[in-house]
Amino acid sequence: MKILIVEDEERLLEAISASLLKEHFVIESAGDYQTASEKIAVYDYDCILLDIMLPGGSGLQLLAELKRTHKSENVIIISAKDSLDDKLAGLELGADDYLTKPFHLAELNARVKAVLRRKKLDGKNSIETANILLDLNERRLSVSGEIVALNRKEFDVLNYFLLNMNRLVTKSSLAEHVWGDHIDQADNLDFIYYQIKNLRRKLQSANAAIEIESIYGIGYKMVEK
């Protein structure tokens, strides 16, 4: 899952990033209004942590823009301002949750996971299809009840495919969600081919009832066999 942290306090930003990286999220950040505005216009995120007070503008302005593009439901406001008016304004603009500084990182992690479960998995902690069970808490894949070992990126790639079952997944969208926004600086996306190749081999060896189809020149699609 890819998370954008919009926060201008550098030490807090570093602490939040480190905590969420330990949970195996892909993290991007913005320290001011302009940078955040540019990122949300170009990229899609599974969750956005949004401070209200930002250099160059208000987080509520960003939230209004997210609402116009139907992306505000995955936002958690993190702000030192604890007035009822600010909280209500954020929630009315579509924010999913509101957390007042200072807060414990463990609580923030729990709020993020809750948002992702509600929006992506209908409250569940696993993805199940055909003879596949992907446990998101344990980061473990089971095929017909047997554990299949995956490295971190293979797990993330499979997770993204399962969340987009039967949908076309472009190479660029896969790269952004699994490796982050800085992927646009890469010379090419050949490394994705090797990750897909290894994942296919493991799924086939385990007799998984799903497969990754190649859509020539565009990307991939995960389907049931």
Q: pLDDT per residue over 189-217, tens digit each?
A: 777 888 899 999 999 999 999 999 998 88
Distance CA 110, CA 105 (A): 9
C-beta separation of 110 from 80 below 8 A: no
Task: Pinpoint the residues of the chain covered by CATH 1.10.10.10.
Answer: 126-224
> Given this model, what pLDDT does residue 183 score?
63
Contact 33, 55 (CB under 8 A): yes
Angle between helices 59-68 and 33-42 (to 10 degrees): 10
The least confident of 70-74, 101-105, 218-222 is 70-74
Written as six digits, the tokens of 172 are 């660029």
Assessment of whether the complete model's pTM goes beyond 0.95 = no
**CA 52 – CA 61 distance, rounded (Å):** 9
pLDDT at 13 over 90: yes
pLDDT for the residue numbered 138: 86
The owner of tokens 């896969």 is 174
C-alpha closest to that of 86 among 75, 77, 96: 77
pLDDT, one tens digit per residue, over 32-86 is 999 999 999 988 898 999 998 899 999 999 999 988 888 776 899 988 766 667 7
Domain range 2-120, its CATH number among 1.10.10.10, 3.40.640.10, 3.40.50.2300, 3.30.70.1140: 3.40.50.2300
Domain covering 126-224, topology: Arc Repressor Mutant, subunit A (1.10.10)
Question: What average pLDDT does the chain have?
Answer: 87
Q: According to the model, what pLDDT value does residue 187 have?
A: 61
